[in-house]
Amino acid sequence: MMLVLLAAFALTGFSAPQFNPPPVLKWQEVAPGVWRTRVGKREKLTLLSAAEAEPNRGALALMPKVDAPPVDLGQSSGEMVETYAMARMPLQPKEKLFGMGLQMHGSDRREGIYHLQMDHYSKGVDRLHAPTPLYISSRGYAVFFNTARPCSIYAGVGNRLGDPNNPPARDRTTDPKWEAQPYSPSVEASVQAPGLEVYLFAGPTPIDAIRRYTLYCGGGALPPRWALGFWHRVPLAATAEDVLKEVAEFDKRGFPLDVLGLEPGWQSQAYPGSFVWSEKRFPNPAGFVAELAGRGVHVNLWENPYIAKTSPMFKPLESSFGSHTVWLGAAADLNVPKAAKIVREHHKQVGVDLGVSGYKIDEVDGVDFWLWPDHARFPSGLPGIEMRQVYGVLWQRELQRLFHDSGKRTFGLVRGSNGGATRFPFAIYSDTYNHQEYLTGITSAGLAGVMWCAEVRSAKNGEEWVRRMQTAVLSHIAQLNAWADGTKPWSFAGFEEPVRKAMEFRISLMPYLYTAFAEYHYEGTPVIRAMSLVDGGEETDQYLLGDDLLVAPMFAGVASRKVRLPKGNWCDYDTGEMVGNGQTIEIKPALDKIPVYVREGALIPTIAPQPRAGRNTKNTALIVRHYGNGPAEGRMYDDDGETFNQEKGSYAWYSLFSRDGTSGLLTTANKWTVGYDKIIWRHVGPSR
């Protein structure tokens, strides 16, 4: 048969296809340390354009200078293949890759295939709530595929015919070193699109690369101070009276509370939503929100962004809906300026003008059994498969714009996000409830350019309740979500005090956390840093919080665990005792103890625990904790904690120092005076 085919080729003049290498890509430096290229045509909508991301060029210019990319761009290539745009990047033998979206398992992504789409789901594996097409290399650079379409990435998988960097072929029958997946010298990405834009962010270190990505997207979110306190979401159909009683119970029992989240029942209709208050459950919304504000509690409203016919938004938006519904609710195309304006104005009228402080955007993670099909159409011309990738981003964009126009900062929750959305003040949450996956989500969020909320909902016993709460209080948002079963921090008798201690620890770290978020906002450094960004480690059960705190949460049923300490001396947070330098230690903490370690020589700004973390700091003492017996230093950021006046220069960075028996605070920007009533310097550890 083969001879017949060859003869046919010879007679007809056809020859066997030749697979030539794709053309080398042409790159252009578009910002300090940032290079860009394109395969095929430029698409109208990309992830960066959907998020309306504008580079912070001033901050990028302050980063370490990079004269050339840390990867040979002469080995990059790309081409159009039928309906696909493909880009190929070189890969070194010992190079590790991290990121590939908000993954809930593992760390090093090399030798894997990643289909980064919002509705990707398989049994036993949580779906991607942030399919950010971004990977970070252990060699100190990051690559971002700026496409709003599902992107497939083949990371060190697959070998091109004739590639001189391929390893030699081995005989499986006789060679014990034969491998089912031989070394592949490249990363290939493809999208079914007329073109693909690619960015390379230089380091020189992996954390510098992610910083450049964040700053190119406009910087990280800077939440209001109150949002870093404790959040509690009430049951599905709670009434105004129920909520006020719940707040009173928090205060009576002495548990901190800053944000009260209302679930679907605040609306007159949900799934799909009316986006108006229920007159039955909340007869006086303005008075209700005002009363909570008087108690120092902020209100966050749940939304499923699919609009019922009973909503006052339905008629005005009718020409801007997509072709398919979600739970019979219409999906507004926020790429249409008129539609975006209608949505903002409605939220202003029924929410922001009443004093509502933020929103929880549910069900935008694109699960394929409840969202629209790939072929759905939207008025802007976007097909359903693309709209799934950016729908959550568009709602974040418009709500952030609304709050910015109001002059008040916000922080909220979102079920799905994507690349380019770093500046939006929303943390992702998930329906998954595996504790280990929650912790992996915390560590990997920064690798996807997003934030993560490791909320607490339920537990099998008191020990698990405590350990989950200890994890939640050291994530981006500290939240108990009681929407389904009405759990409270004190729901497990006999375990109230460890839970209270964990919540109060969160509150005490307010100045430190606020500074870490400011570093994210101004400098692009993730608040929570995976060990791969710290020193190349692959652990997903420990992480760095800010510059100086190493966190290693515990799980229920586990009496001990190992913690790998980065290089440098590390101290126990509570006692100040030295625990090690660069080695792996085994710990057996008590139930009320969160394993947290501090870099020697650090100064950690804290406050005493209080019921409302977001209260004005004028009557609050700043407590600076000094670790180690030698000189120590740190930094702290401060502003009014609520408005956008920092954009006008009304903020300050402070240098903290303690040396030669002298401690002090130096202002590095003088348009803001530190708002704390007094400063207490406290040495933690053995006597000097």
Q: What is the largest CA-CA distance in the chain?
A: 94
CB 549 within 8 A of CB 684: no
Q: Give just the sign of the alpha carbon dihedral 2, 6, 9, 15.
A: positive
Question: Which residue is it, tokens 């002495």?
Answer: 254
- Write down the pLDDT at residue 10: 46
Tell me the CA distances in angstroms from 109 to 100, 187, 199, 221, one per residue in order.
7, 11, 19, 27
- Cut 0.85: pTM above it: yes
Q: Which residues of the chain carry a pLDDT beneath 50?
A: 1-12, 122-125
- Write down the pLDDT at residue 325: 95
**Tokens standing for 581?**
């330098």
Residue 430 to residue 360: CA distance in whole angstroms? 12
CB 262 within 8 A of CB 302: yes
Residue-level length of the chain:
688
Q: With b meaning 16 or more CB within 10 Å and e meaning fewer, what string describes 442-452? A: bbbbbbbbbbb
Instruction: Please report, as a single letter, which amino acid is at residue 89.
Output: M
Residue 655 to residue 642: CA distance in whole angstroms? 22
Domains annotated for the chain, with CATH where assigned, are: 28-168+178-216 (2.60.40.1760), 263-359+367-408 (3.20.20.80)
- Write down the pLDDT at residue 675: 77
Instruction: Please report, as a single letter, which amino acid is at residue 69.
Output: P
- Write down the pLDDT at residue 1: 45
Question: Which residue is it, tokens 């210019």?
Answer: 61
Q: With b meaning 16 or more CB within 10 Å and e meaning fewer, what string describes 576-595? A: bebbeeeeeeebebeeebbb
Cα angle vertex 281, ends 277, 286, to 5°?
A: 50
- Beta-sheet strand order (sheet of 603-606): 603-606, 621-627, 678-684
Find residue 655's DSSP bridge partners.
Answer: 635, 666
**Tokens standing for 414?**
């979102």
pLDDT per residue as tens digits for the range 357-384: 999 999 998 765 567 888 999 999 999 9
- Stated as kind and residue range, the H or E segment containing 622 is strand 621-627
